[in-house]
Every structure is written in structure tokens, then in C-alpha cells.
Structure 1
Amino acid sequence: MQTHEIRKRFLDHFVTAGHAEVPSASVILDDPNLLFVNAGMVQFVPYFLGQQKPPWDRATSVQKCIRTPDIDEVGITTRHNTFFQMAGNFSFGDYFKKGAIEFAWTLLTNPQDQGGYGFDPEKLWATVYLDDDEAITLWQEVAGLPLERIQRRGMADNYWSMGIPGPCGPSSEIYVDRGPEYGVDGGPEANEDRYIEIWNLVFMQNERGEGTGKSDFEILGPLPRQNIDTGMGVERVACLLQGVDNVYETDLMRPVIDLVAGIAPRGYGVGNHADDVRYRIIADHSRTAAIIIGDGVSPGNDGRGYVLRRLLRRVIRSAKLLGIDTPIVGDLMASVRDSMAPSYPELATDFDRINRIAVAEETAFNRTLASGSRLFDDAANATKASGASVLSGTDAFTLHDTYGFPIELTLEMAAETGLTVDEEGFRGLMAEQRQRAKADAAARKHAHADLSAYRELVDAGPTEFTGFDELTSEATILGIFVDGKRVPVVAHDAGISAERVELVLDRTPLYAESGGQIADVGAITGTGSSGAARAAVTDVQKIAKTLFVHRVTVESGEFVEGDTVVAAVDPTWRHGATQGHSGTHMVHAALRQVLGPNAVQAGSLNRPGYLRFDFNWQGALSDAQREQIEVVTNEAVQADYAVNTMYTKLEKAKAMGAMALFGEAYPEDVRLVEIGGPFSLELCGGTHVHNSAQIGPVTLLGESSVGSGVRRVEAYVGLDSFKYLAKERALLAGLASSLKVPSDEVPARVANLVERLRVAEKELDRSRLANARAAAANAAAGAELVGRVRVVAQRMAGGVSAGDLRSLVGDVKGKLGSEPGVVALVADPVEGSDAVPYVVAVNPAAQDLGFSANDLVKVLGATLHGRGGGKADLAQGSGSGAAHVDAALSALLAEIAKG
């Protein structure tokens, strides 16, 4: 049975049983504890926590999941993937244990011609929590499972929580016995290679407190209602139903392995375990990378971007270790698309962008590997020069951590040069790094915000937003909160500071921050029993995406729950905000017109008079492209396009060509903002101008990189744009006046002056070096005999660079002839720097007497608070503090005198 059929049967089974089919959420959700969605229930957490009222009593989904804590273990075991599909059914206060067991058992054991999976009931086992006698009874009564195939296990295996305070409960896991050829008898407790877990039924009934780990927390009490959360591993079920040994042999992953095997000089499954692991890494990480890019992530140096970069680099390095030297990532992405698109069609429709980002990372990493190879050569040569045969763990770690150079390649190249690697030292440094990362992650991980105080208002229904049609609205105060606690009244003279008071109204014209648009500011006024009251609104945020919460400073009077008030938007603020937001749409449309459809949105921010827009693109824009984007934008402004909004179904909006933000979850009914017909059509819930001319001039401030494959443009709009241009005009006029040329000749005159300055600086450098050479020649003539060697130890004035210093040392050493000689030159800091470079050279005759430049340079460094090193004939370093130069040279002479 193909994997797509397994997914379909699961969803059909539960939809027939009255479950709402919920599409998979993006692997990126706004959750402070999650880098990626790692379980099927994550998108339902607000319902389990009671923060939102679920729109259905029961639901089902097949969720895209990514787990990355043990990336280094992927491929070594054959059961785990970084990306997997979790099929689940969920009950929100509806059915409980009996229903969950019935639904799972019938789907697993019903014959395939009746829509089931057709598992042999005699092969199925169940585990339950230690004291869950109810679950044991139900397995016997509902499924007819004999007691000897039901095992009790502890909290580590059969008690579920999110690892933080929140819902929890006992679980029951379903296992399939693969037979004696896979291990010993005795059920899951005896062998989890033979007995494969395929489905976990969580009976979510309690609330847990603080604690760490899977078992050291307190059970606070029962939840308001009992819920069901289950998860069936689609890949594991596919492995069993397709009769293959492991998840890498299934129909969704084997095509990638076969593709690589057709290119690599060494095959898969021919007895080389290390090579098999590399094949599995490529198969696993390729599809995970495609999914992550598809949901809007680009490679970067932190967070999700770093995980993506690491996955792609492991793919590339594994291919190289298999002997593949040609680019391969593009072919891998195409293979993933072909196998996964029936379930995830966006992998096909968005393939050009996914492929472009992945291939660009391959190109960049190949350059890194080239640099790493040179660095390895330096480290290997230094190791051999010291007489050692083991490359240090520190060198290996530096290559891996700083330059992204894989340890496997380090081991292989070291063997080719006759060296081994201190793997124990490397592993120790890696372990320290992982511990730091885990500590950092633990410090950031926290419980979901306690929104219980707002729960009654959230359940009562959404705030009515009136701001599309009016700037002033009469409203009723539904709730007053101070420091997150609900209070009946708040007064100006209560001594409560700003930002601690929140007012919740039944309706409001004030926009809550979302979609890149910051919140409106304004005021809430009332005439209660105590007289006039006024509060300045400084921020508006959404709770549970439906409830508008106004953060206010009470300036006079008092507000009482139930009062009638008037909420008003600052009209000047709103006008500027609409200019910024509509301007963002215009810039987005211009970018796509100039650069093409691959320039898709990756984030935005707009506020009155200003916008910034992030988009997926490789490489900086040219001056011509930036100019053209600005021209296209302002031509659309001048065209005075009408701005129209409409509400429609999500699928219809997409069919119309509406732009949607990658990774964003949209409801079934969406709002479309259309500017100039086909010029701009986007899904958007923000506020906008009525006609494009109201945006005013748009001036691009610049374009920059904000991560690998992501660029950012910034712009002023409206009056802020005019002020910026006026300032630029004044600056140009000032330059023209100073240079005594017309404004249009300023760029040429400035370029001429810069060139003349560059020529003068080069001449000055030549003069400085000539003076230094003359000084060095005089120094060679006056070389001092110290012990058995002639020594030149001199301070070089005039800002000589480290590069010049090496050249001068060579000149002086050559003038000393064949007699034993040592040259040490220390340069004064160049202007604007405290760095003191120094170089030591020792000729062959002095080396025969036991002198080494590598040793002597450390003598200088000890006094100059610097570091340095090199070889026996030449070494260099850099320290600080020009005041210590003479003392350092004296220390060097004293050291030479000892020899």
C-alpha cells in the first residue's frame, strides 16, 4: 500500500466517523517553545489549554512534523526521521478512552478491501500506563486483546506531557510484532526493534506543574474536560504495509536512494554500513529541507535557518563521502518533489523557489569546503612540522565549528596524509557545545502564557473590528485587566503605571498589530458616574487571534466594567499607517514585476511613513534594478489606482492569483486587497488607503541582506519621503557649493577627488616603505653580536604594516650573509589602531645552533601581551601597547644571549 493511500485511508476513516478534516499546519508556528512543529497536536494546543473554543468536537489531520535534537543519529538507526507525517485524531471533550481505542483498532484491523489497513490482530500489542486499569479493561473488551499482549510501563514511556506546565495524561501505545527474525520475544518491553510502535493514544485528562524531564513534575489536578490526542506514524505504517525492513526503503524515500546510487561509485546495501548511513542521511535530509524551504525558511546562521543549513550541508558532505563530486542537490529536490507532491502539492507549484534556495546553499558550501581544505592543509603541515602524527581535537573542532568542515572529511583527509585525528578531544569539544546549546534552549523554554484570565472573554466571541469603515466607535467595556488580572474598575489616581492596564471592548476601530502592520494609537473616553474619563491607547494586541486587548494609560477619571465608552483612532497616525501598508503592497508588486515571481515575501513591517519588506532572493540587487523598482512603484502611485477589498474563499483567492505569505495559516474565508486590478492582489487583513495616489512618493532607502537567500528593502512614503528627499537635496547643494560646481557635476568631481586621494595614499605607502627599507638596511649594517649570533632587533616607526614587516625581515636576513643571524622587527601601531605587529626570522646557521623563530616570537608576545607562531625560520604575531616595544626587544636579546 502506497504512503499516499495510507494517508487517505486514515483521513477517510475519521471523516466518516464525524471528524472535521483539518489541513496540516506549516512546520513553523508562533510558539515560543518550538523551533518546528514536532507533533500532530501542536496546532490544537490552544484548544487543549482552553485558550480558544474549538470549532469542532472532533478533528483529524496528517501533520507535517520535524524533530531535530538528534540529527547526528539519523541513518544510524532505521526507525527515525527528521521529517515525518503524524496522522492523528482528536477529541475536545467528546469521546474518550473507549472511543479512541475503538477507532484505532478498527482502522488497523479492518480488511484492506473494507478501507482498513488489514493488520493481523494476533500481531498487535498494547502498552498502558502503570495504574491505568481502565485502559487494560477496554483493550480486552473493545479489541479482544489478551492480557499477555498488554504491558504496563512507567511515566517515561506511557505518560504524556509537552515537557512544560500544561495538559498531560496517561497514554496507550500500539505495537506491531515483526517476527522472531527481528529480535527476541517478550513484547515492547523486551525489544523495540522487533515490536515497532505505530500509534500513541494520549488520554489527556490532567494538568501538570513545573518540573524537568518526563517524570519529575506534579499533577495539579484534572482538566476542565477530557480530551483525546493520538498520533500514528505514517512512515512506520508504510514500512510495515510495504514489507520493507526500514523506513528508508518505503516508496517516498527509496527513489532518492536509487537516484544517488545511480551516480555514486559505491552502491547502497552492499555491506558497507558507513555508506548506507550516508545514503539514508541524503534521503532523510533532502525531503526535510524541501519541506522547510517550502514553508518559508532560508538557510541562515541561527534558529530555523541554521537547522536548514546544517541539513543541506550534511546532504552535500554525505554525497562527497560517497565519491560524488558533481552538484546533486537540484536532482535531489526534484526527486523529493515527484514523490511527495501528491500529498503536498505546494512542493510542485513552488518548486522553482525551493530548488533555487537549495542549490544556492550547495554552491556556497562547496566554496566553504574549498576553504576548509586549505585550512586543513595548514593544520596538517603544522602537525607534521612539530613531529606529531595526530591532528589535534582543537584543530578538528575549529574546522568543523568555524568553517563548517565535516569531521568525516577531516578523518578521511587526515588518513590520506598519514595522520590520525584526536577524535576523543573533538567529541569532547562537541559535547561541550551541545551542553551549552541545551542549556540555552532550556533557558528559553517556558510554559505557554497563562491566558486563563481572558478565557471567558475569548469564549464569548471575537472583538468586532470597525476600523475599516470608521475611526470612532461606541463600545462597551467587557473587561479590565491590570498586570494580567481582571479587576472591576481602574482609576487615574490608583498609582498604576503605563502599560499595565488593558481594556477589552466588544468593538473597536483600533487596529491590533498583525501582518507586519503595527498597532494603531488613539484614545478611549467615557462619562461614567465619576465624571469624564480618558485613556491613551499605546498598543493593541490580539489574544487567541480573536480578542483585541487595548493597552492604555489612564489619564483622567475611572473606567468600570460595563461602561459605555468611545474608542477613537488618531487620524494622523492611521493616515500614515495606511500609506505605509499600501506602500508595502506596491513595493512587493514592483519587486515581482522587475525580478520575477521568485521574489516572494519573507516578512514585512510598516508604520506611519516607513516600510521594510523582506523577500527571498539570491544576491544583491543592481543599481539599475533598485532604480527600476522605485520607478515602477511610483508610476503605480501616480496612476491613482483604486484600492478595493473583498471577502472570498481561500482557494478561490489563490486561483485568482492572490499572494499569500509562506508559512502563514489562513482561515477558509479571507480578505483580498486589490490595487490597480492585476498590479497587486494580496491576502491581507490590514488597513489601506482608498487610492494609490494617497500613498505619496515612495523613496527606497537601500537594500541589504538579512540572511542567506533573504534580502530587505526599506523605504519612506508620503511626507516622510518628501522630507528625506529634501534633506538629500540640501546635502547635494552643500557639496556643490563646497566644490564650486553645478549639482549634476558633483558625482564626477567627488569620484575625481577620491581617485586623487587613492593615488596620493599609494605614493605615501611607497615612500613609507622606502624609508623603512633604508632603516632596515642601516640596521643590518649595524647588527649586534649577541652570544654566538648576529642580531638585528629594531623598532620600525612610520606605521609599517604586518605584510611590509615580513618583506623587510627577509631583506635584512639576506644582508646578514651565512653567519648565524636573527632578525626581529617590531612595528609601531598604524594610525587608529593599538595593534603592534612583529616578525622574527632565523637563518639556517642560527637554526643549527638551536634557535627557532617560533620560540623567539613567543618571547616578544609575552611582553607585548600578544600571540604568534610559525616555523623555525619565520614566525609572526601581534600584540598591543607600543609602550612595551623596547622592553620586548630587550627581553628577546636576553633570551638569545642565553643560547
Structure 2
Amino acid sequence: MKTAEIAQRYLDYFEKNGHTIVPSASLVTDDPALLFTVAGMVPFIPYLSGDVPAPYARVADVQKCLRTNDIEEVGKTPRHGTFFQMLGNWSFGDYFKEDAIRYAWELLTAPEADGGLGFDAKDLWVTVYEEDDEAFELWERIAGLPAERIQRLGKDTNYWSTGLPGPAGPCSEIFFDRGPEYGADGGPATDDDRYVEIWNLVFMQYEITNVRSKYDFDIVGELPNKNIDTGMGLERIAFIKQGVDNMYETDQVRPVLDAAVALSGRAYGANHEDDVRFRVVADHVRSSLMLLSDGVTPSNDGRGYILRRLMRRAIRSMRLLGVEGPTFAQLFAVSRDAMKDTYPVVESDWARISQYALAEEATFLRTLAAGETILEESLAQTRAAGGSTVPGAEAFLLHDTYGFPIDLTLEVAEEAGLTVDRASFDRLMKQQRDRAKADARSRKRLLADTSIYRVFRAHGETVFTGYTDLETESRVLGILVDGASVDRALTGQIAEVILAETALYAESGGQVADKGVIVGPGYELDVIDVQRPVAGLISHTVEVTTGEVGVGQAATTVVDAANRRAARQAHSATHLVHAALRDTLGKTATQAGSLNRAGYLRFDFTWGQSLSPETRSEIEEIANNAVRDNLEVTTRVLPLAEAKDLGAQALFGEKYGDVVRMVDIGGPWSRELCGGTHVSSSAEIGLVNLVGESSVGASNRRVEALVGLDAFRELAAERAIVSQLTSTLKTPRDQLPARIAELAANLKAAEKKIAQFEARALGERLPQLVDSARRIGRFQVVAQSLGTAGSADDVRSLALQVRDRLGADAAAVVALGAEVGGRAVVIVATNDTARTAGAKAGVLAKSAAAALGGGGGGRDDVAQGGGTDAAAMPAALDAITSALESQAA
């Protein structure tokens, strides 16, 4: 049974049983405590917690999920994967425990011919929470399971909570017995791979508080509306129904594994380590494909870092399989073909997805080449020092700074006959993980608990009137001070104010929040920020500037009209720039983020190289032509599917409902899904002035522009500068570029002559420096300050000349210091005789740099140190001579 067929049978069954079928939400969740949708229940958290009223009583879905907390187990067990699909059925205060158990058992055991999944009841085991007698009895009655196949387990496995105050409850898990060839008898309690968990039924029935840990809390009482939250792993069902040993061999994953086998020339099933690598490639390529399809792009932090890690682990695994060249063109195409029937976007958006994948692979292959060079130097230094172990700190630096995998470091070191201080490396990695976990806990603590807004959201959605009005009368529904609900806020306090209606725009879609005030009888509030803490609710962060505001009072929101007008200009101009980019660069130049505020826009887009000045001018001209043409700006509210059929551009990663707002500028020329505020015609934008273009990643570019009066002021300032230059240089405006180029050439020639003079002056000091040599133990030492020098290269050249003049028989150590461009520089050079006697230039340079308040190091024969404290040069040179004296002693 194909994976897609299993999913369809699931949806058909629950639709027949009165469930609304909803599409998968994005892997990019809008939950601020999570990077990704890590479980099927994530999109439904607001409904399960009661923060937002559920729009349906019962629902079923197939949800895309991504989890990397067990990434090291991928490929080693039959069930660990980073991307997976969760089949879920949900009840929000509708049916409960009995129906949830009945639905699960009926679907699992009904014959395939009748639309079921055709499991044999004798192969299924069940676990329940040890105190849940009701669930135990229901399984006996509904499924007819013997008591010995219903196992009672503790809170650590069979009790669900978020780890925060709120809803919780016992759960019941269904397991498939793979048979005695896979492990010991004894049921799921043995925790053996023989028993595969396929479905988890969560009975969300209690409210908990005083949470001391995920399994230690106080139960306040039963929830007023009991919920059902279930999840069945699609990949787990698929590998069982398809008769294969693990999820990597199912129909949506195996094609990538087979492609990796073909590229490597190695056999699958012949070697355990190779098999793990093949599975890692198959899993990570699919996960990367799905992340890219949801708008995530590789970067060094957040979601982009997770994607980058997955892609680089896949590249590393292919390398360990003997393939050193690029493979993503083949592997991603195969994964696309395996997933496109279920997720058509991987094919329709293939040009953009493949562009990112190939660029990231090329970048990492270059990183590997550079990392190997750095590692070779480290290995050489370890051998030269007579050691056999590469320090863990150097391996961690390669991993953390250069992205060079520890596995490859170990492999290269082993080939060189050396080892790596793995314990030190692991210690540094643990410290890094601990910092990341502490940060994640902090974010979860600060951001995840939105239950305080539940009572306000129960009044309904906040009505936003700002599309048509700049003032709106309303009433105060609630006030929060320091996160607690209060009756009133006093003069000078910072508070959150919840209103029934508002004309103030809440930050979203790249547009910053409106400025303005909220006024009422005897009070005035200055609006600091406007946000949407939960779906459908708008919260105003304010400072009480006059009087005091209380719950239930009348309130009028007043938008700063000038700021709103400039923000509308910027947001509409963003749409023009996006359309101009696509006109100029093609359809693969898609939006990857934006920021709009009064008079300014920033627009990120997918593109792998810098824009030429001619291209920038063309984009700017297209946008301003649209302004000149006074194109009509219209908005429509319509179903999402209809908007997409009309060609509306959607921002990847943005969450859209079934009904969306579509903004047209000039009809289909610019057509985007957008909830922001806009001008009514393009001429209102006034002017678009592109002021910057830069890189924000391997395949992302950013353009910045000023809009309206801000754009005019920038051009006026540039005009003033040009006027000043024409006056100062007494040159007509059209001849300025040539005149400035002439002056720059003259300056460069003068600087070259000065450098030659300074170098010649330094060279004339050569005899005096050689004569200044003094003996320190076995060494002939020159340690002198040169004053100022044109460049560090001049100092280096002179130090090498002095070293050579001292002769090969002498153990020559030369340390020359100088001030170069306001910074202190010390060059140390040693000859073979000195190095044999123990003088290492890199060590000596480092000791000098410490005195200068900087850093240094280098090779044993020549090295450089430096710092900001030029006055400490005598102390720096003394540090070198002291080090040599201690060696001599």
C-alpha cells in the first residue's frame, strides 16, 4: 500500500465520520516558542488550549512535521526520521475517549477492501496511563483485547502535557508487534524495537498548574471542554504495510537511497556503516526539499541553520560513501519526483528550490576544501611539536566556525596517523548545546504561554477598521501590566490594552505597527507597539500619559495619519519593486522577506549573485514607471484557492487562512496576498529611490529603497554634494567622474612614491640593525623598534634581510616592531639554527602581542603579532628577549 494511499484512506474514513478535512499547515510555525511544526498538534494548540475558539468541532488532517532532536539516531533505527507526516484526528469539546478508541480500532482493523488498513488484531498491543481505568476498560470492551495486551505505564510515557500550565491528560498508545525475529517478547513495556508505536491517543481532560517538570505538576480540575488529540505516524504505517524493515525503504524515501547507491557505486545492505549513511542521505535530502518548499533558506541561525545542517550532513554522508563531487542535482530531483503527487509545490517551485540546494552544496564543498587546508596545517603543527593528538579546541573551531564536520576531522587525522582529543571536543559541544537549550527554555518560558489572552479572545476577533478609517470608537476589553490582568492602568505605567475594535495596524507581513494614540474619558495613551499575540486578537502596548484607563471604558484609536500615509507608500512600493525584480530577473526571483516602515523599504529575494548597476537602474526605472502610470490599487477578499488560480504571489512561510486578501496594482502586473495597508493608486507613492543592494546569504539578495518624501530628500542631498564638488573642483557636473578618477590616480601614485621612500629609508637601516645584534644564550638576537612604517610587509621584508645577514651558522632571532596605520606590529623571524635550538617565531610573536593588547602567531620561521597599544612596544620586545633568556637558562 503506497504512502499516499494510506493517507487518503485515513482522511476518507474520518470525513465519513463527520470530520472536517483540513490541509497541512506549513513546517514553519507561527508559534514563537518553536522553530518548526514538530508535531501534528502544533497548528491546533490555540484551539486545544482554548486561547482561540475552534472553528470546527472535529477535524482530521495529514500534517507535515520536522524534528531534529534525535538527529544522531537517523539511519540507526527503523523509525527515526527528521521529516515525517502525522495523521491526526481532533475533537474540540465534541467526542471523547470512547469514540477516539472506537475510531482508531475500527480504521486499523477494518479490511482493506472496506477502506480500512487491514491490521490483524493479534499483532496490536495497547498501553494506557497506569491510573486510567476507564481507557483500560474501553479497550477491553471495544477492541476485545485481552488484559495482558493492555499494559499500564507511567507518566513518563503515557501522560501528555506541554510542560507549562494549561491542558494535560493521559494518553493511550497503539503498538504493532513486528514478530519474534525483531526482539524479545513482552509487549511495549520492554521498550524493544520489536514493538513499533503507530498511534497515540491523547485524552486532554485536565487543567494543570504549579508545573515543576513535565511529569511533576498539580491537577486543578477537569477542563470544561475535553479535547481529543491523536497522531498516527504515516511513515511508520507505510513501512509496516509495505513489508520493509524501516521508514527509509518506503516508497517516498527509498528512491533517494537508491540514487545515492548508484552515485556511490556501493551496495546497500552490505555494510552497516554505509547503510546508515545511505539512510541519512535519503532522510535529509527529503527533509531539506520539504523545508525549501515551505520557504526556509540556508543560513547560520534559526530555521536556516537547521536546514543548512541537514544539507551538510547529507553532503558529508555522500563524501564518506566515496563521492566527493556534487550530487544534489540528482538526489533532489529524485526526491521531488517521489513527493510531488502529495505535495505539488515541490515540482511547481522546483526552479527556486533547486537553486538554493545547488548553491548550498557548492558553498559547502568549498568550505570542505578550505577546512581541509586548515586541518592539514593543524596536523603539521601537531607532528612538528612531537605530539600525536589534535587539540579538541581546534577541532571545535573547525566545526563551529568553518562548518567542517567532526567526522571528517577524525577521518583525516586517522589517515595522518594522529588522533583528536574527542573528550575536549565533546565538552565544548556540550557547552554549546547547553547554551542553546538554555536559550530555548528561556524563549519557551517567555513566549509560549499565551493563556492570559484566552479570556479576551473569547469575546471574538478584534475588528480591524484601519483599511478605511483612521479613527475608531471602541471599548476596553482588558488591560495587562507586567503580564498580569488588571482592572486599570495609571499615569506613567506601560500596559497592554485589548480593544473590541481598532484602527491601528498590528505589525505583520513586513509592515511595522502604526503610530498613534488611544483616548477616552479622562485619559490618553501613547501607542508604543501593536501586535497579534494570538490569532484574531490585537494587543496595543501603550504608555499612560494622562489620567488612568479602566476595563469597560470607552476608547478611541487615533492613527498618526502622516506616518500611516508614508507606511502605505512604502508597502505599495515594495510590491512594485517585487514586480520589477521578477520582470527583470525572471520568476525565480521570489520574495524571501521584507520590512516596510514610513519612507523606507527593505526587500529580500532569491538570487545568487550581485546586481549590476545597469540592472539596478532598470529595476528602479520599472518601479517609477509604474508610479508615473498611476496604476489603480485594488483589494479583494476571496478564497485562497481562487487567489492562487489568479496567480497571486504568496510569501513563503506566511500562514494564510481559507479566505485571503489579495492586492492588485495595475491588475495582474502586481498581484500578491497581503494584509497590509496600501495607497489607492500608484502615483501616491511619489518616488522610489533604490539606495542599496547587498548579500544576505549564499542565494539571497537584499535591496533597500527610500520612498516618497524620504526618497526626494536623499536625492536632494546627493544634488547638494554634486554641487559642492563642482564648485570645489571647478569642474562641470558631467566631467566630475573623469576629474575624480584623475585625482584618485594622482593620489595612488603619490602614495606609491611615499611607500617606496619609506621602504628605502627602512632598507638604509639594515647595517645598523645587523650591528645591533646581541647574544642571549645560544641566540643572536636583534630586537628593535623602527618607529613608523608604511606597511607590515616592509617590516617583514627588513626582518628577513636582517636574519639572512646574520648568517646561517648563528642562531638568529630577529624581532622588529613598528607603528603601521596607528596599530602596533611586531614581526619575528628565525633561521633553521635558531629553530633547532627551540626558538619558534609564532610563539615569540604571540608573547609580544599579549603586551600590545592584541593577538598573534604564525609559522615557526616567520610570524606576526600586533595590538592597539603602540606605546607598549618596548614591553613587547622585552617579552621576546625575556622568553629567549628563560630558554637560555
Measured in 2, the distance between the counterparts of 1:366 and 1:201 equals 45
Q: How does 1:16-27 map to 2 (within 5 A)?
A: 16-27=16-27
Distance 1:885 1:260, change over 3 A: same
1:742 equivalenced with 2:724 (yes/no)? no
Tell me the CA shift for residue 540 of structure 1: 3.5
Amino acid at match of 1:821: A
Amino acid at match of 2:230: T
Measured in 2, the distance between the counterparts of 1:75 and 1:721 equals 55
Corresponding residue for residue 830 of structure 2? 841
Amino acid at match of 1:514: S
Q: Secondary structure at the match of 2:127?
A: strand
Paired positions, count: 887
Corresponding residue for residue 337 of structure 2? 338
Q: Residue by residue, what CA displacement relative to the aligned partner does 1:473-528 show, whole Å, maximum 9, x if unpaired?
A: 4445555555565566x5xxx743254252513x44333332222233344555x6
1:497 equivalenced with 2:495 (yes/no)? no
Determine which of 509, 517, 526 is the counterpart of 2:511: 517
Distance 1:464 1:434, change over 3 A: closer
Of 738-747 and 17-26, more deviation after overlay is shown by 738-747
Amino acid at match of 1:45: I
Measured in 2, the distance between the counterparts of 1:893 and 1:672 equals 75
Determine which of 862, 865, 883 is the counterpart of 1:877: 865
Of 852-861 and 597-606, more deviation after overlay is shown by 852-861
Corresponding residue for residue 530 of structure 2? 540
Measured in 2, the distance between the counterparts of 1:581 and 1:848 equals 69
Tell me the CA shift for residue 655 of structure 1: 0.8
1:321 equivalenced with 2:320 (yes/no)? yes
Does the CA contact (< 8 Å) of 1:164 and 1:447 recur in 2? no
Q: Secondary structure at the match of 1:460?
A: coil
Tell me the CA shift for residue 406 of structure 1: 1.4
Q: Residue by residue, what CA displacement relative to the aligned partner does 1:589-616 show, whole Å, maximum 9, x if unpaired?
A: 1111111111111222222222222222
1:600 equivalenced with 2:586 (yes/no)? no
Corresponding residue for residue 666 of structure 2? 676
Amino acid at match of 1:517: Q
Measured in 2, the distance between the counterparts of 1:144 and 1:463 equals 50
Q: Residue by residue, what CA displacement relative to the aligned partner does 1:809-865 show, whole Å, maximum 9, x if unpaired?
A: 2211221224313232222232332x4323131343x45556554565566456556
Of 62-71 and 612-621, more deviation after overlay is shown by 612-621
Normalized against structure 1, the TM-score is what?
A: 0.94
Q: Secondary structure at the match of 1:614?
A: strand
Amino acid at match of 2:512: I
Measured in 2, the distance between the counterparts of 1:453 and 1:855 equals 60
Corresponding residue for residue 763 of structure 2? 773
Does the CA contact (< 8 Å) of 1:614 and 1:712 recur in 2? yes
Corresponding residue for residue 137 of structure 1? 137
Does the CA contact (< 8 Å) of 1:265 and 1:324 recur in 2? no
Measured in 1, the distance between the counterparts of 2:720 and 2:20 equals 63
Of 328-337 and 822-831, more deviation after overlay is shown by 822-831
Distance 1:696 1:2, change over 3 A: same
Normalized against structure 2, the TM-score is what?
A: 0.95
Measured in 2, the distance between the counterparts of 1:537 and 1:895 equals 64
Does the CA contact (< 8 Å) of 1:772 and 1:800 recur in 2? no
Measured in 1, the distance between the counterparts of 2:772 and 2:530 equals 79
Distance 1:455 1:422, change over 3 A: closer
Q: Secondary structure at the match of 1:118?
A: coil
Amino acid at match of 2:821: E
Corresponding residue for residue 428 of structure 2? 429
Tell me the CA shift for residue 647 of structure 1: 2.0
Corresponding residue for residue 586 of structure 1? 576
1:615 equivalenced with 2:605 (yes/no)? yes
Does the CA contact (< 8 Å) of 2:184 and 2:192 recur in 1? no
Amino acid at match of 1:502: V
Q: Residue by residue, what CA displacement relative to the aligned partner does 1:629-661 show, whole Å, maximum 9, x if unpaired?
A: 110000000001111122221111101100111
Distance 1:524 1:848, change over 3 A: closer
Q: Residue by residue, what CA displacement relative to the aligned partner does 1:142-172 show, whole Å, maximum 9, x if unpaired?
A: 1111100011111111111123333211111
Does the CA contact (< 8 Å) of 2:811 and 2:837 recur in 1? no
Tell me the CA shift for residue 680 of structure 1: 0.6
Measured in 1, the distance between the counterparts of 2:789 and 2:622 equals 51
Measured in 2, the distance between the counterparts of 1:789 and 1:666 equals 75
Distance 1:851 1:784, change over 3 A: same
Measured in 2, the distance between the counterparts of 1:127 and 1:486 equals 41
Corresponding residue for residue 412 of structure 1? 411
1:460 equivalenced with 2:459 (yes/no)? yes
1:242 equivalenced with 2:242 (yes/no)? yes
Measured in 2, the distance between the counterparts of 1:692 and 1:419 equals 67
Q: Secondary structure at the match of 1:641?
A: coil
Corresponding residue for residue 233 of structure 1? 233
Corresponding residue for residue 204 of structure 1? 204
Tell me the CA shift for residue 370 of structure 1: 1.0
Q: Residue by residue, what CA displacement relative to the aligned partner does 1:306-354 show, whole Å, maximum 9, x if unpaired?
A: 1111111111111111111221112111111111111111111111111
1:635 equivalenced with 2:625 (yes/no)? yes
Amino acid at match of 2:231: G
Of 820-829 and 666-675, more deviation after overlay is shown by 820-829
Determine which of 773, 796, 805 is the counterpart of 2:795: 805
Measured in 2, the distance between the counterparts of 1:461 and 1:788 equals 87
Corresponding residue for residue 571 of structure 1? 561
Amino acid at match of 1:682: E
Corresponding residue for residue 793 of structure 1? 783
Q: How does 1:543-558 map to 2 (within 5 A)?
A: 543-553=533-543
Corresponding residue for residue 726 of structure 1? 716
Of 1-10 and 696-705, more deviation after overlay is shown by 696-705
Q: Which blocks of at least 5 consecutive residues in structure 1 are unaligned?
A: none
Corresponding residue for residue 695 of structure 1? 685
Does the CA contact (< 8 Å) of 1:801 and 1:827 recur in 2? no
Does the CA contact (< 8 Å) of 1:805 and 1:825 recur in 2? no
Tell me the CA shift for residue 766 of structure 1: 2.4
Corresponding residue for residue 222 of structure 1? 222
Distance 1:797 1:336, change over 3 A: same
Amino acid at match of 1:311: L
Tell me the CA shift for residue 665 of structure 1: 1.9
Distance 1:765 1:172, change over 3 A: same
Determine which of 717, 741, 759 is the counterpart of 2:749: 759
Q: How does 1:135-174 map to 2 (within 5 A)?
A: 135-174=135-174
Tell me the CA shift for residue 560 of structure 1: 6.2
Measured in 1, the distance between the counterparts of 2:687 and 2:195 equals 68
Measured in 2, the distance between the counterparts of 1:39 and 1:175 equals 19
Does the CA contact (< 8 Å) of 1:298 and 1:708 recur in 2? no
Q: Residue by residue, what CA displacement relative to the aligned partner does 1:52-83 show, whole Å, maximum 9, x if unpaired?
A: 11011111111111111232332122320011
Tell me the CA shift for residue 556 of structure 1: 5.5
Amino acid at match of 1:722: F
Distance 1:780 1:124, change over 3 A: same
Does the CA contact (< 8 Å) of 1:820 and 1:843 recur in 2? no
Does the CA contact (< 8 Å) of 1:185 and 1:191 recur in 2? no
Does the CA contact (< 8 Å) of 1:641 and 1:692 recur in 2? yes
Q: Tell me the C-alpha RMSD between the 2 structures.
A: 2.5
Q: Secondary structure at the match of 1:828?
A: strand
Measured in 2, the distance between the counterparts of 1:554 and 1:881 equals 50
Measured in 2, the distance between the counterparts of 1:552 and 1:852 equals 63
Does the CA contact (< 8 Å) of 1:659 and 1:683 recur in 2? yes
Q: Which blocks of at least 5 consecutive residues in structure 2 are unaligned?
A: none
Does the CA contact (< 8 Å) of 1:51 and 1:544 recur in 2? yes
Distance 1:859 1:595, change over 3 A: closer
Does the CA contact (< 8 Å) of 2:474 and 2:499 recur in 1? no
Q: Residue by residue, what CA displacement relative to the aligned partner does 1:22-64 show, whole Å, maximum 9, x if unpaired?
A: 1111111121221111010101111111111101111111111
